[in-house]
């Protein structure tokens, strides 16, 4: 029997149809018309300080967990944190995998391994986490994103790995 192979899921189409069937208001998907800006790269990854921003609702035990209504805050998680101290909370995705192995939404061990191998120059002192599923684009634009930028400017990070869920 031939394997059932399918093209990538068209999430925008499927979610729009699902919400419509449920009688919800239409969600305004973000569309960017102009090409993205590019920061000037002066050093290769092997000489750069690399950060990570993940949206999967990851927190460090001892931190206040995220809440489930447009939470636009972030948590700073030291890049040396024991993996066993990390937790995940979210309203919109299946947490089964993340709670079994946080590396599937927050690859902290892979980042440390690549740093130890010398493929990454150095790691940011902190990796930053937040919630995806913030319905107000204005709040992401005016509250969350500027705080993340400020934090990584302070930490003098050269480049960032983004891990959405």
Partner 1 sequence: MGLIAHQLEKAGIATTSISTAKDITKSVRTPRSVFLDFPQGYTTGKVGDQNLTIDIVKAALNLLDATEEEILTTLSYSWGDDDSWKDTVFQIPESGSGATDNRLDRSDLPQYQTDFDLEHAKEKHAGEECLLCLGIDY
Q: How far apart are CA 148 and CA 157, in angstroms?
A: 11
Q: How far apart are CA 144 and CA 138, in angstroms?
A: 9
The nearest distance, CB 108 to partner 1, in angstroms, is 10
Q: How far apart are CA 62 and CA 16, in angstroms?
A: 38
The nearest distance, CB 32 to partner 1, in angstroms, is 4
Binding string to partner 1 for residues 39 to 58, with x set by CB under 8 A, is what?
A: xxx--xx--x-xx-x-xx--
φ and ψ at residue 151, rounded to 5 degrees: -60, -45
**The one among 74, 79, 123, 127 contacting partner 1 by CB under 8 A:** 74
Residues 96-125 contacting partner 1, CB under 8 A: 96-101, 103-107, 109-111, 113-114, 119-120
Instruction: Name the 3-class secondary structure at 66.
Output: coil
- CB neighbours of residue 74 within 10 Å: 20
Residues 118-157 contacting partner 1, CB under 8 A: 119-120, 126, 132, 137, 140-141, 143-149, 151-153, 157
Considering beta carbons, is residue 25 or 40 the nearer one to partner 1? 40
């Amino acid at each position: 029997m031939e394997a059932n192979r399918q093209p990538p899921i068209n999430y925008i189409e499927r979610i729009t149809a699902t919400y419509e069937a449920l009688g919800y208001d239409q969600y305004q998907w973000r569309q960017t018309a102009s090409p993205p800006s590019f920061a000037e790269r002066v050093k290769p990854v092997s000489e750069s300080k690399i950060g990570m921003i993940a949206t999967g609702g990851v927190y460090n035990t001892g931190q206040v967990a995220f809440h489930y209504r447009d939470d636009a805050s972030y948590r700073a998680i030291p890049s040396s944190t024991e993996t066993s101290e990390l937790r995940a909370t979210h309203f919109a995705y299946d947490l089964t995998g993340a709670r079994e192995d946080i590396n599937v939404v927050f690859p902290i061990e892979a980042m440390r391994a690549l740093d130890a191998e010398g493929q990454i120059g150095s790691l940011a002192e902190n990796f930053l986490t937040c919630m995806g599923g913030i319905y107000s684009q204005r709040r992401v634009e005016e509250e969350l994103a500027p705080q993340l930028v400020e934090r990584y400017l302070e930490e003098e990070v050269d480049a960032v790995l983004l891990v959405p869920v």
